[in-house]
Amino acid sequence: MPTHTESVVRPFRPEEDLAALVALHNTVELAEGREASVAVEQMEKAVTRPNVYRWVVPAPEENGKLAGYGVLFYQTAERCYGDAKVHPAWRRRGLGRLLIDELVAKATQLGTRYLAIDVAAANQDALRFLLSQGFRFRGDTWALLASPEVALPPPDWPDGYSVRPYAEVGDLSVLTALCNRTFGDLWGHWENTPGMVDEARMADILDNFDPNGIFIVFDRAGHAVAQCRSLASAGGDTPHVLDQPGVVPEQRAAGLHAPLALTTAHWLRSQGRQPVRLESWGDAAETVAIYQALGFVLSEHEVSYVRELK
């Protein structure tokens, strides 16, 4: 097989590379123990998203096939997210480094401070590779699932706390300030960048949510101290999404994560009998253990490794 010195990284060309990219993506998924999950129709939509840049490595002497690909998402002025994947038959030939170099160059050109790459926490080869490329651990991302058969207990709120749906609260400034306080220090959120989530952006975000499925927790003094958003399933086997309970730092030891997650999960179940998928960015393992104790089962755990560019 040719060496990486004969390999070239070039920009992705949809008209030439789409089918080969799908094939490579699914081959990598299978090699890493997951199901082949992407169809051509899905990839056609994905490659049209704004602020996303893609590169491929054509497989030398194998016309129409790809040996690797890279993708970069410009999330904020401070952070880009990237990914680089290499076909199992082409690994340990330097292609991953070539792709990382492209991601770094583009993220630097865009003026961002961080390039982040998320990988499965159990993928030790990938973690060692990222360390060798100057990346360092920054945070965890998690996904947990509660099947319809799991009997979730009713929420048990600590004394002095109450919860109301955003449909009743209706105060955009309260929710905006609360999201910035609850997520600002948890890696992976837009709120990591001060000023990024203002009221105008929050209004845009809320267009995707039912205000009855957004919950705000108040303390005895009437201060908003926690929040959680959710997306009901569109039907079929698609799970409901419980979009991470967020608690302000000074209240994280007050026992609010469990009743807030349960309040939201029970509302989602009232919308349809689908699994509930709880997604979390930046939470510690101790917080995730709270959700597991309620009956949620861990389905995904990735770690975010970051390279500082300036």
Whether 5 shows a pLDDT value over 50: the answer reads no
pTM: 0.87
Q: Give the start-to-end residue ranges of the domains of the chain.
A: 4-112, 144-303
Whether 4 shows a pLDDT value over 80: the answer reads no
Q: Render pLDDT for 171-225 as a digit per residue (tens, 0 to 9).
A: 999 999 999 999 999 999 999 999 999 999 999 999 999 999 999 999 999 999 9
Given this model, what pLDDT does residue 1 score?
A: 44
Pick 4-112's CATH classification: 2.130.10.10, 3.90.226.10, 3.40.630.30, 3.40.50.300. 3.40.630.30
pLDDT interval class at 282 (50, 70, 90): very high
Whether 37 shows a pLDDT value over 90: the answer reads no
Q: Render pLDDT for 150-183 as a digit per residue (tens, 0 to 9).
A: 999 999 999 999 999 999 999 999 999 999 999 9
What is the SS3 string spanning the chain? CCCHHHCCCEECCHHHHHHHHHHHHHHHHHHCCCCCCCCHHHHHHHCCCCCEEEEEEECCCCCCCEEEEEEEEECCCCEEEEEEEECHHHCCCCHHHHHHHHHHHHHHHHCCCEEEEEEECCCHHHHHHHHHCCCEEEEEEEEEEECCCCCCCCCCCCCCCEEEEHHHHCCHHHHHHHHHHHHCCCCCCHHHCCCCCCHHHHHHHHCCCCHHHCEEEECCCCCEEEEEEEECCCCCCCCEEEEEEEECHHHCCCCCHHHHHHHHHHHHHHHCCCCEEEEEECCCHHHHHHHHHHCCEEEEEEEEEEEECC
pLDDT interval class at 59 (50, 70, 90): very high
Is 144-303 in the same CATH topology as 4-112?
yes
> What is the third-level CATH fold of 144-303?
Aminopeptidase (3.40.630)
Given this model, what pLDDT does residue 36 score?
A: 67
Mean pLDDT of 243-260: 98
Report the mean per-residue pLDDT for the chain.
94
